Amino acid sequence: MRPSLELPADLRQLLRSRSAELVAEVERFLAEAPRRCTYIRSERVARAPLRRSWLGRLFLGDAAKPVLAPVDSKFGGVPYVEEADLSWESYSFLGQINFAQVEDPPPGMPRRGLFALDFGEAENGMPLFRMRWYPEPSEERSRAGAVPPCVGPWETRMVFSPGWSLPGGQSWEAPLPAGDEELSSEWNDWTPKGFLEDEREEWHRLFGHRSAALDEPYGFEPPPGRGSALDEYVQLLRLTFDRPTGFGWGSNWVYVLIHEADLAENRLDRAFVAGAND
């Protein structure tokens, strides 16, 4: 059930001081604004990490063995692979999402298929991501081998839960009159309960509205044949830092974007990564 999105009394009064028409316009905006999403949090599946330093092995013992199956949604561990010649020479496995394991998915999300994300580093030191998409994953197709290098030292299970998102940044301020700094400040200080819980917790998010930080992305390079207008793209995944798994991006968050047409055609192999400061 969608959480209530009722204007606080002080904010309503401030809006009304501008005009009754503005109150009505804002309420129409709020009626249409909520969009379902899926939150992702991580749970460790072993008491030890997948790798230890030599000092850790000396005092704490051996590293853990992978627990989760190759088709499971997870960070770290054994990735799902169908390619016979996939190389890990320049990449580390970050994580993967098996959409068949997402209960009560939001509209537009694939109902099956496995999306995997690997992390590397280009020659200029910039982050480099490799997307892999398997529309019909199965244990029979899996070519799982030894554990490759992983971004985080711990293997964690992805736990999915339904949520609600709201527009961010310029889209959130769309119903307000331009240049009204007092109103803009009060509006942005309002944090509606039950929405955007991933921004208050250490959670990742699937789908929902694009985040406010994407008003100023970097590394935004659309796939061949697609335009550069951000409104044409869906925020497939937002990755923040992850304490259970043990990875982070400093002050940056990582966004996986996909063109609306590519999503409709189930071409998640055409997704790409953009970054932003949050």
DSSP conformational letter for 78 = S
Query: Considering the domain boundaries, does residue 271 fall inside one?
Result: yes
Q: What pLDDT, on the 0 to 100 scale, is given for residue 130?
A: 95
Query: Considering the domain boundaries, does residue 65 fall inside one?
Result: yes
Query: Considering the domain boundaries, does residue 52 fall inside one?
Result: yes
Q: 138-160: b or e for each residue (b if 16 or more CB lie within 10 Å)?
A: eeeebebeebbebbbbbbbbbeb
Q: What pLDDT, on the 0 to 100 scale, is given for residue 57?
A: 52
Cβ–Cβ under 8 Å, residues 203 and 39: yes
Q: What pLDDT, on the 0 to 100 scale, is given for residue 59?
A: 46
Please give the tally of structural domains in the chain: 1
Query: Considering the domain boundaries, does residue 183 fall inside one?
Result: yes
Query: Considering the domain boundaries, does residue 273 fall inside one?
Result: yes
- Owner of token pair 């998102």: 165
Query: Considering the domain boundaries, does residue 147 fall inside one?
Result: yes
Q: 229-250: b or e for each residue (b if 16 or more CB lie within 10 Å)?
A: eeeebbbbbbbbbbebbbbbbe
Over the chain (278 residues), the average pLDDT of each successive run of 10 is 92 96 96 96 95 53 86 97 93 97 96 96 75 96 91 97 94 94 95 89 93 86 92 95 90 90 97 86
Q: What pLDDT, on the 0 to 100 scale, is given for residue 243?
A: 94
Q: What pLDDT, on the 0 to 100 scale, is given for residue 58?
A: 44
Q: What pLDDT, on the 0 to 100 scale, is given for residue 60?
A: 52
Q: What pLDDT, on the 0 to 100 scale, is given for residue 278?
A: 66
Q: pTM surpassing 0.75?
A: yes
Angle at the Cα of 123 (from 120 to 129), degrees rounded to 5?
Answer: 25
Q: How far apart are CA 116 and CA 245, in angstroms?
A: 16
Query: Considering the domain boundaries, does residue 4 fall inside one?
Result: no
Residue-range definition of the domain harbouring residue 70: 9-277
Q: What pLDDT, on the 0 to 100 scale, is given for residue 136?
A: 97
Strand order in the sheet with 114-121: 127-134, 114-121, 91-98, 74-75, 156-165, 35-44, 204-206, 233-239, 252-259, 272-277
Q: What pLDDT, on the 0 to 100 scale, is given for residue 116?
A: 98
- CATH number, residue 109: 2.30.320.10
Query: Considering the domain boundaries, does residue 1 fall inside one?
Result: no
